[in-house]
Amino acid sequence: MSYTVLARRYRSSTFENIVGQEPIAKTLRSAIESDRTAHAYLFSGTRGVGKTSMARIFARELNRDDALTEETAIGNAILRGDDLDVIEIDGASNRGVQEARDLIAAAGLAPTRCRYRIYIIDEVHMLTTPAFNALLKTMEEPPSHVKFILCTTEPHKVPATIQSRCQRFDFRAIPSTKIAEHLSFVLKEEGVKADPEVVASVARLGNGSMRDSLSILDRLLAGGSTTIEANEMEALLGLPSQTAVTSMCAAIASCDMGAAFTSADSLIGSGVALDRCLEVLSTALRNGLIARVCGSDSSLLELSDEGKQEASSLGQALDEASLTHMIALCDATAREVRRGGSGRALFDATIARLCLTGQLAEAGGVLASSCSASSTKKKRIVPATLTPAKAPVITQTSKNLKEEVPVVATPSSSRIDEKIVLDTITSTPGLKRISNYLRVNKIERGSIEITITDEGRESSNYILAQKTKIEEVLSKISKHKIAVSMTSPVLSPRTSAQSSASFEEVEGNELVQIARGLFDGTVVQVTNSTKGNT
């Protein structure tokens, strides 16, 4: 006797043992019990999720009749797909208008033994437009003894006129946990033992398709072994070594670039493609992220107990931001590798960047904090803090000052000096490059006088235009309003004010803004042109 594959031998035969589509099975069973069945149904969903099996079970239940002496034989024939009254049609090979006309003509004939003549049209989206049009009238008002069950993996290709005449049921992808449970049942029936990691991996490789998972399991059982281990599965299916993936993740987490390169090279040396290596790496990082955020016992982790422990260890070694960045980097590199180019060099550079993620994040944090306030410098200058008047706090200025004078900070005052002013300007984005051209002449309560040095003569107009921004940052650290007056060695105070106003007018000009956006430029100097000049 010829061998029958697992996908056929362990096909669901009743509504009760349907896997992953329980809501649809319950609805169809209730419709039969209440005698509210429609004349046409559309089952849509990806491959291997039970559309055809559900159609056969539904057809058998519709034609079940205790009065029939051959009820069991008829039911088995329907499940095999060779009953006279349940006609299965392949839409890919019977897609023309003539086949549709033959179907319409046969639909008028009464069933031979059963209550209904049922047409199951698989891959119905392959029918031509004339064939669909020919079926419209019959599907809308068929004879009372005729029912249609249409199955498709691409429902968007089925005309809306057909869909509107059917009750549509969308079959979802089967969760890996349910597939793993069914695979364990099949292995028990076959008398084969397998590691939990093997069952979980086969379930994941099925991508929500029970038929695909059973086909993969068939490949593992073909060797005749009564025990299947993880390393045997990896060798038979050509999968990346989980040990190498775990080692690479550990090396990345510890920033050991040499060990990461070694683990990556062992993966590539085993014949795994570069994009596949990045895919399994991003999956491992995703498991670590889920374990860190949701816990290792989360239902989102479809792993064995050992796999959950490894994911938890990785999640503890890296934070959420780093893991998210790494996953996005692996995905972007995988797309680049598939498009061609220097694949191995790009792959190795990605591994290096993954190992340097912690250092890059630390550098980014230092840069961000250095721009927030001068308190992040190595020689920290702490401005006076505001506290209630009942509990004044005495602080001191920097040790580099000539006199260390204690200052009492109150809600209405705070002391700043020349060094604090210049350090604040230096640490403010957009003002750092002009700080070397400024000199503080006088500091009084509520006002500061600043002079532009000779080195900043060429950029004096640009510097003068930053007066408002300088006032804002100085007012912020001093906790009260500061008025800044700026003078230039070239321009008189009056002319300086006029130039500043002219500069602000140019900054607001629409053409200037467009030019700045195109060339990523900055207005440095404004010159008033006379009539006749362009």
Give the whole-angstrom CA distance, residue 356 versus residue 358: 6
| pLDDT interval class at 1 (50, 70, 90) | low
* Structural domain spans, the chain: 6-170, 176-237, 242-362, 406-519
Give the whole-angstrom CA distance, residue 228 versus residue 349: 37
**Predicted confidence (pLDDT) per residue in 329-349, tens digit:** 999 998 888 887 678 898 999
Place of tokens 């939990």: 196
Q: Which CATH class is domain 242-362?
A: mainly alpha
Q: Please give the average per-residue pLDDT across 232-240, as a whole number.
A: 82
% of the chain surpassing 70 pLDDT: 81
pTM surpassing 0.95?
no
Half-sphere exposure of 245 (CA within 13 A, CB side): 22
Half-sphere exposure of 314 (CA within 13 A, CB side): 30
pLDDT score of 261 = 92
All residues at 6 or more sequence positions from 260 whose CB lies less than 8 Å from its CB, including other chains: 248, 251, 252, 351, 354, 355
Nearest to 149 by CA among 55, 238, 215: 55
Nearest to 273 by CA among 233, 239, 250, 231: 239
On whether the CB atoms of residues 180 and 203 are closer than 8 A, the answer is: yes
CATH among 3.40.50.300, 1.10.3720.10, 3.40.50.720, 3.30.360.10 for 6-170: 3.40.50.300
**Predicted confidence (pLDDT) per residue in 25-48, tens digit:** 999 999 999 999 999 999 999 999
pLDDT score of 397 = 40
Give the whole-angstrom CA distance, residue 403 versus residue 411: 24
What does the chain come to in residues?
Answer: 534
On whether the CB atoms of residues 79 and 131 are closer than 8 A, the answer is: no
What is the CATH topology of the domain spanning 176-237? Helicase, Ruva Protein; domain 3 (1.10.8)
Place of tokens 């995988």: 334
% of the chain surpassing 90 pLDDT: 35
**CA 183, chain centre distance (Å):** 29
Place of tokens 């609805």: 27
**Straight-line distance from the first to the last Cα atom of the chain, in angstroms, rounded to the nearest whole number:** 97
**Predicted confidence (pLDDT) per residue in 121-166, tens digit:** 999 999 999 999 999 999 989 999 999 999 999 999 999 999 999 9
The structure tokens listed for 338 are: 């598939």
On whether the CB atoms of residues 347 and 333 are closer than 8 A, the answer is: yes
Helix (H), strand (E), coil (C) string for 149-206: EEEECCHHHCCHHHHCCCEEEECCCCCHHHHHHHHHHHHHHHCCEECHHHHHHHHHHC
pLDDT score of 340 = 74
The structure tokens listed for 73 are: 């034989």
